[in-house]
Amino acid sequence: MADKREIKCDCGGLLAEKEVKIDHISTLAMVCPNCSFTTLTKEQAKEFRKRIEFHQAIDQERQVIKIGNSMGITFPEKLHDFGITVGKKVKIEALDERSFKVELM
């Protein structure tokens, strides 16, 4: 297994992996603790690209529909590319009185 490579910033600091938000999307990136310079490794860039595609598939307004005696929302077929299929379990968590989070299990 190869050793982890250290990346030195122009300011002299060593970049460290950290969770950051880029264009409202959370991702891992290399960040300088001194000057906050942020960059992505090749692997981080690939993961960030996947997250962008996921956001493009899901980020939009949807209408609540009636399903029997229940209410529901639909998801686009494109989410199948991300492993989301009919029957997949989800966890729903209330964030406040106007929003909730749906987490894939």
Tell me, what amino acid is at 48? Answer: F
The verdict on pTM exceeding 0.75 is: no
Contact status, residue 57 vs residue 79, Cβ threshold 8 Å: yes
Give start and end residues of each alpha helix (H) in 6-85.
42-58
Long-range Cβ pairs for the range 12-17 (8 Å, 24+): 15/39
The mean pLDDT value for 74-103 works out to: 88
Q: What domains does the chain contain, in order, with CATH numbers?
A: 1-75 (3.10.20), 76-104 (no CATH)
Q: Report the alpha-carbon distance of residue 32 to residue 39 in Å, rounded.
A: 9
Q: Which two tokens stand for residue 101?
A: 């989070």
Three-state DSSP state, 77: helix
Q: What is the pLDDT of residues 5-46, one digit of tens each?
A: 788 888 888 898 999 998 888 999 999 998 989 999 999 999
Q: Which two tokens stand for residue 52?
A: 């962008």
